[in-house]
């Protein structure tokens, strides 16, 4: 399909997770691509490459979709929390706060980023299957809600909470025993998972906690995995969670919150077809209302934790094309100035992406190429067997759908500095993450005195 019709045909501005590119994507009069009113190749020459570009309107549209859908389909109280591991930064924390959402974090670094970015502590939830003492203290002292994941959490909280001069809200995470079709590494709801209490232990743990003076259990949590295209597993999850809620109530806990996690998929390539945000929210809301009616219980506060579906399609990564290698009859390689250090998803999960030459989007893509990164790994390939027009060195390539799990999973492999990130909106671009320099990478290296001056 020609790229011009391609960008139009995938456009769903109310549910950005169904788009490959940001919702503000426009083909300009020169046949190049604009996002947030900014021409991508101009951003590349102004800020350098590789460059992460984030479209503010797309992020806000996703937040609004979650917020408004919850309001429309769920008659009880609700709160959407951004799963910040998808992209943890001051700018994301600030945007999330301004949209009235909450946030979930899994480390002291993510907590600090959320708090410094202005997310109110009452709306922050702290997860993790192996939290450190220091992290638990930090979370308790700051008034963040803590998700108890295992017995080791309980053992330490029992000591920490009585020494804290404020009440600490607790949620309990359990493994719901639900299978879903997604990559093995991002599946979390089946019984063989490192996260949460086994359902068989739930009753014992709930009984133990109800007798503990220090524990104020206010919610239950479960999460079945990521990049899920089906609604059914999420509906099944709601039913399992209502069972757990009733059990907890019978044992004597006053549970107010039911947190169903995240997992809604996004469209990386044309054949991906995730549900819209509103259909996802509608499905879990209807199921929860129906189950609560059936069991005659009050509606809990419905919480969900979107990560990927909130930010993936808002991001585009710009690269400069460098060397090219054609192996006749086998493969044409085009190398770019980044790769697995700024986007480890292809080498980790065999993920696919869509890309284009940002100045020549409407030209016929008649060459099949493989786009490789610059790292010393043969597996450092961003797109395999992808169609592009005949490509010249120095041209700018844009890879779509890189807003989630790219910057947050980036590394300095081969001592390659991390890219800069800019946010674009209405023709303006602003740096939100400075580009690392090779000197930055030496900042924490230490050469012991006895090695100095030897060589």
Ligand X SMILES: *Cc1c(COP(=O)(O)O)cnc(C)c1O
Catalytic residues: 376
User: Rule CB under 6 A: is residue 403 a binding residue for ligand X?
Assistant: no
Q: Which 3 state secondary structure label does DSSP give 303?
A: strand
Q: What is the DSSP letter of 18?
A: G
User: Rule CB under 6 A: is residue 262 a binding residue for ligand X?
Assistant: yes
User: Rule CB under 6 A: is residue 86 a binding residue for ligand X?
Assistant: yes
Contact range with ligand X by CB under 6 A, out of 82-90, 115-123, 324-332, 365-373: 82-90
Q: What is the DSSP letter of 228?
A: B
Residues 170-189, interacting with ligand X (CB under 6 A): none
Compute the distance between CA of residue 312 and CA of residue 17 in angstroms, rounded to an integer.
7
Q: Which 3 state secondary structure label does DSSP give 354?
A: coil
User: Rule CB under 6 A: is residue 83 a binding residue for ligand X?
Assistant: yes
User: Rule CB under 6 A: is residue 102 a binding residue for ligand X?
Assistant: no
Chain centroid, CA 304 distance in Å: 13
Diameter of the chain by CA atoms? 78
User: Rule CB under 6 A: is residue 127 a binding residue for ligand X?
Assistant: yes
Out of 309, 320, 335, 406, which residue is the one contacting ligand X (CB under 6 A)? 309
Q: How far is the CB of 376 from ligand X (least distance, A)?
A: 30
Q: How far is the CB of 147 from ligand X (least distance, A)?
A: 8
End-to-end CA distance of the chain: 60
Strand residues in 74-184 grouped as ranges (E): 78-83, 102-105, 124-126, 145-148, 170-173
Locate tokens 């068989």: which residue?
A: 200
Q: Radius of gyration over alpha carbons of the chain, in Å?
A: 23
Residues 145-174, interacting with ligand X (CB under 6 A): none
Do residues 194 and 243 lie in contact, with contact meaning Cβ atoms separated by under 8 Å?
Answer: no
Contact range with ligand X by CB under 6 A, out of 7-15, 38-46, 303-311, 422-430: 303-311
Q: How far is the CB of 305 from ligand X (least distance, A)?
A: 4
User: Rule CB under 6 A: is residue 315 a binding residue for ligand X?
Assistant: no
Out of 18, 67, 85, 345, which residue is the one contacting ligand X (CB under 6 A)? 85
User: Rule CB under 6 A: is residue 307 a binding residue for ligand X?
Assistant: yes
User: Rule CB under 6 A: is residue 261 a binding residue for ligand X?
Assistant: yes
Chain centroid, CA 2 distance in Å: 30
* Closer residue to ligand X (CB): 54 or 334: 54
Contact range with ligand X by CB under 6 A, out of 7-15, 92-100, 206-214, 304-312: 304-312
* DSSP one-letter string for 330-348: TEEEEEES--TTT--HHHH
User: Rule CB under 6 A: is residue 410 a binding residue for ligand X?
Assistant: no
Compute the distance between CA of residue 347 and CA of residue 371 in angstroms, rounded to an integer.
13
User: Rule CB under 6 A: is residue 287 a binding residue for ligand X?
Assistant: no
Which three-class secondary structure string do you get for 274-328?
Answer: CCCHHHHHHHHHHHHHHHHHHHCCCCCEEEECCCHHHHHHHEEEEEEEEEEEEEC
User: Rule CB under 6 A: is residue 223 a binding residue for ligand X?
Assistant: yes
Residues making contact with ligand X (CB under 6 A): 83, 85-86, 104, 127, 223, 226, 261-264, 305-309
């Amino acid at each position: 399909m020609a790229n011009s019709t391609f960008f139009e045909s995938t456009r769903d501005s109310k549910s950005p997770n169904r788009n490959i590119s940001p919702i503000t994507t426009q083909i300009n009069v020169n046949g190049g691509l604009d996002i947030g009113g900014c021409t991508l190749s101009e951003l590349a020459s102004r800020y350098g490459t590789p460059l992460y570009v984030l479209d503010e309107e797309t992020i806000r549209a996703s937040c609004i979709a979650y917020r408004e859908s919850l309001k429309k389909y769920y008659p009880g109280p609700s709160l959407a929390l951004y799963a910040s591991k998808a992209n943890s930064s001051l700018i994301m924390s600030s945007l999330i706060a301004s949209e009235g959402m909450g946030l979930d974090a899994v480390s002291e670094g993510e907590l600090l980023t959320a708090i410094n970015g202005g997310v109110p502590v009452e709306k922050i939830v702290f997860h993790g299957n192996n939290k450190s003492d220091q992290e638990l203290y930090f979370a308790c002292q700051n008034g963040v809600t803590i998700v108890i994941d295992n017995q080791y959490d309980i053992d330490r909280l029992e000591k920490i909470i009585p020494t804290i001069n404020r009440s600490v809200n607790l949620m309990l995470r359990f493994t719901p025993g639900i299978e879903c079709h997604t990559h093995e590494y991002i599946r979390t709801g089946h019984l063989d998972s490192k996260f949460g209490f086994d359902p068989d232990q739930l009753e014992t743990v709930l009984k133990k906690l109800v007798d503990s003076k220090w524990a104020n259990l206010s919610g239950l949590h479960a999460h079945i995995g990521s990049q899920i295209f089906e609604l059914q597993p999420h509906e099944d999850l709601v039913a399992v969670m209502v069972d757990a809620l009733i059990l907890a109530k019978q044992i004597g806990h006053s549970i107010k919150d039911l947190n169903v996690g995240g997992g809604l998929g996004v469209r990386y390539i044309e054949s991906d077809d995730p549900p819209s945000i509103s259909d996802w929210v509608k499905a879990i809301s209807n199921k929860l209302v129906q189950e609560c009616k059936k069991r005659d219980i009050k509606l809990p506060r419905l919480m969900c934790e979107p990560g990927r579906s909130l930010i993936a399609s808002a991001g585009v990564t710009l690269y400069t094309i460098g060397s090219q290698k054609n192996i006749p009859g086998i493969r044409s390689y085009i190398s770019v100035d980044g790769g697995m250090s700024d986007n480890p998803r292809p080498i980790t999960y065999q993920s696919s992406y869509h890309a284009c030459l940002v100045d020549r989007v409407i030209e016929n893509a008649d060459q099949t190429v493989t786009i490789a990164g610059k790292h010393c790994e043969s597996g450092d390939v961003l797109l395999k067997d992808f169609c592009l027009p005949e490509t010249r060195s120095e041209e700018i390539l844009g890879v779509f759908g890189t807003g989630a799990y790219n910057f947050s999973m980036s590394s300095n492999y081969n001592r390659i500095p991390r890219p800069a990130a800019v946010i674009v909106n209405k023709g303006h671009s602003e740096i939100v993450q400075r580009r690392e320099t090779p000197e930055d990478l030496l900042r924490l290296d230490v050469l012991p005195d006895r090695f100095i001056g030897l060589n």
